[in-house]
């Protein structure tokens, strides 16, 4: 493989999952990383790229998360779940902050997360292009039968991050995790 | 993480900004309040469609677009409120009609589905240009809110353009309704691109809406004509939303939006 492609992947990974360097902070990170998205419970917040930073500031453990969408109501549940996991592990003072910058993108979703999503029956997001004047929709593969012969039913689905599709071959409807 | 990132990351939240030590400068807070009101009022209007849209998918779509806008409103009002020791709820629920600074397009009644699409089309193109500009604001909180919003609003533009085309090029009835919707909303276009009185002294932080008109005019009339419709030739409404002057539609909308919070002050759920 082209080395520049490899290094681009490594860079994306470092941005998507900025694991702390110190062992103490990494222990907190690994606990927080077990929390799942309440709407898509096969994905952890680490898979999603929603877990942004862990730091130990004096007696306080600080965990930063980012919402997928500005109005995402799952943020409150995720915050409570992180606090619960860390309290249960014996951390006394936990502060979960939400941050907006840099803005979340589906390109931060891990490869493992994409596989789990497909197995769960949700089509994984396409990678975002460099951005141009025309928004061209690529074909979305049916997570049930693998057919590319699918059709968008609605650009908005059961949560902010999903669109609703139907497969023309197996006739099953499915969610598509929108590239964002 | 470098220092500048740290400042950004601890500054911007709807949920935790109240706990942070970041306080919006007075002039920035005044500006953010106007932007937050625009997003809040339109979000509420879209919420009125839930269970009333022509099809279930559109209940969901308009609800989701409203949710994105509510997210922008929460961030902007929370940030504005830091200057005055007020919460987002204080600002949303405990100000009267003349204290709202939303521009008049956003409070216009939903009308039929085509009128809502017309309003959303105009609003989304405007928001896309505005937030694109604000994403390089020198105020790191405003910049972060805008950088997040612009990705969402691009999707809203796409949604309303698809409906504009479908209704404009659809049946005789859908065409007539889409045209009527555009005619009803068009008087409020002009106000969006007038000088924002709260942007005046915020060079590099705020975006002057006036130059955004060129991008709007470069895109919107072409899309309207491609959809078989005509660009309305109507007089501009008086405007004045930023100064607290509103059309008669805002008062009843606020009454409904605020009644629960005022009947049970301090209630949480």
Opening angle at CA B61, ends A174 and B12, nearest 5: 105
Q: What is the pLDDT of residue B182?
A: 98
Contact (CB<8Å) A156/B60? yes
pLDDT of B19: 53
Topology of domain B21-262 in CATH is Ferritin (1.20.1260)
Q: What is the mean pLDDT for each group of 10 consecutive residues in chain B (269 residues)?
A: 35 52 91 98 97 91 95 95 95 97 98 98 98 96 93 93 96 98 98 95 96 97 97 96 97 97 86
B9 CA to chain A: closest CA distance, Å?
5
**With contact defined as beta carbons under 8 Å apart, do A135 and A144 qualify?**
no
Strands A122-123 and A150-154: unpaired
What are phi and psi for residue B233, nearest 5 degrees?
-110, 90
Count other Cβ atoms within 10 Å, centred on residue A149. 12
Distance (Å, whole) CA A120 – CA B164:
35
Give the residue from B53, B71, B163 with the most A CB atoms within 10 Å of its CB, the best one to mutate. B71
Average pLDDT over residues A143-171: 90
Domain boundaries, chain B: 21-262
Token output for B169: 């090029």
pLDDT digits (tens, 9 = 90+) for A67-117: 888 888 888 899 999 999 999 999 999 999 988 888 899 999 999 999 999
Residue A54 vs residues A31, A160, B3, B11, B202: alpha-carbon distances, Å: 11, 26, 15, 16, 34
pLDDT digits (tens, 9 = 90+) for A29-62: 999 999 999 989 999 999 999 999 999 999 999 9
Q: Which residues of B83-119 are buried (b: 16+ CB within 10 A; e: fewer)?
A: beebebbebbbebebeebbbbbbbbbebbebbbbbbb
pLDDT at residue A74 in the model: 87
- Select the residue from B9, B70, B144 to test the A interface by mutation, using most A Cβ atoms within 10 A: B9
Do A176 and A144 meet the contact criterion of CB atoms below 8 Å apart? no
Rounded Cα distance, B128 and B160, in Å: 13
CB contacts, 8 Å: B59 with chain A? none
What pLDDT does residue A139 have? 82
Confidence of residue A153 (pLDDT cuts 50, 70, 90): confident
Indicate whether A174 pLDDT > 90: yes
Predicted confidence at residue B14, as pLDDT, reads 63
Q: Which residues of chain A have a CB within 8 Å of the CB of B75? A: 70, 100
Strands (E), chain A: 51-57, 60-65, 93-98, 122-123, 150-154, 162-167, 173-177
Residue A1 to chain B, least CA–CA distance (Å): 30
Q: What is the share, in percent, of chain A residues with pLDDT greater than 70?
A: 91
Give the pTM.
Answer: 0.85
Q: How far are the Cα atoms of B26, B28, B32, B233 from residue B199, in angstroms, in the given order? A: 12, 8, 9, 29
Q: What is the pLDDT of residue A151?
A: 92
Residues A131 and B154 sit within 8 Å (Cβ to Cβ): no
């Amino acid at each position: 493989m082209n080395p520049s492609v490899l290094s681009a992947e490594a860079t994306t990974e470092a941005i998507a999952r900025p694991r702390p360097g110190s062992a103490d902070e990494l222990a907190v990170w690994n606990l927080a990383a077990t929390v799942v998205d309440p709407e898509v419970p096969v994905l952890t917040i680490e898979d999603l790229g929603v877990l942004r930073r862990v730091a130990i500031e004096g007696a306080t453990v600080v965990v930063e998360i980012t919402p997928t969408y500005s109005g995402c109501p799952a943020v409150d549940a995720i915050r409570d779940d992180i606090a619960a996991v860390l309290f249960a592990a014996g951390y006394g003072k936990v502060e979960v902050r939400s941050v907006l910058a840099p803005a979340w993108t589906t390109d931060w979703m891990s490869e493992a997360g994409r596989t789990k999503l497909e197995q769960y029956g949700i089509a994984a997001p396409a990678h975002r292009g460099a951005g141009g004047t025309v928004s061209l929709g690529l074909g979305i593969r049916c997570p049930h039968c693998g057919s590319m012969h699918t059709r968008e039913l609605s650009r908005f689905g059961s949560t902010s991050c999903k669109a609703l599709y139907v497969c023309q071959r197996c006739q099953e409807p499915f969610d598509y995790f929108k590239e964002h | 993480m470098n220092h500048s990132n740290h400042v950004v990351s601890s500054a911007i939240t709807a949920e935790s900004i109240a706990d942070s030590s970041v306080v919006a400068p007075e002039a920035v807070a005044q500006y953010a309040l106007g932007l937050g009101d625009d997003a809040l009022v339109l979000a509420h209007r879209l919420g009125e469609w839930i269970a009333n849209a022509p099809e279930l998918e559109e209940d969901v779509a308009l609800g989701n677009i409203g949710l994105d806008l509510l997210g922008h409103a929460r961030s902007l009002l929370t940030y504005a409120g830091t200057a005055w020791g007020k919460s987002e709820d204080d600002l949303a629920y405990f100000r009267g009609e003349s204290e709202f600074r939303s521009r008049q397009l956003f409070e216009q009644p939903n009308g039929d589905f085509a009128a809502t699409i017309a309003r959303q089309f105009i609003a989304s193109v405007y928001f896309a240009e505005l937030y694109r500009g604000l994403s390089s604001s020198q105020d790191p909180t405003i910049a972060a809110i805008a950088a997040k919003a612009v990705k969402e609003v691009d999707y809203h533009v796409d949604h309303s353009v698809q409906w504009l085309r479908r209704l404009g090029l659809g049946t005789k009835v859908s065409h007539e309704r889409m045209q009527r919707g555009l005619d009803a909303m068009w008087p409020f276009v002009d106000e969006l691109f007038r000088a924002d009185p709260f942007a005046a002294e915020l060079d590099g932080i705020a975006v002057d809406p006036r130059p955004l008109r060129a991008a709007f005019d470069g895109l919107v009339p072409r899309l309207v004509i491609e959809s078989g419709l005509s660009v309305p030739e109507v007089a501009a409404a008086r405007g004045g939303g930023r100064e607290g002057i509103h059309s008669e539609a805002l008062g009843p909308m606020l009454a409904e939006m605020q009644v629960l919070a005022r009947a049970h002050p301090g209630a949480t759920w």
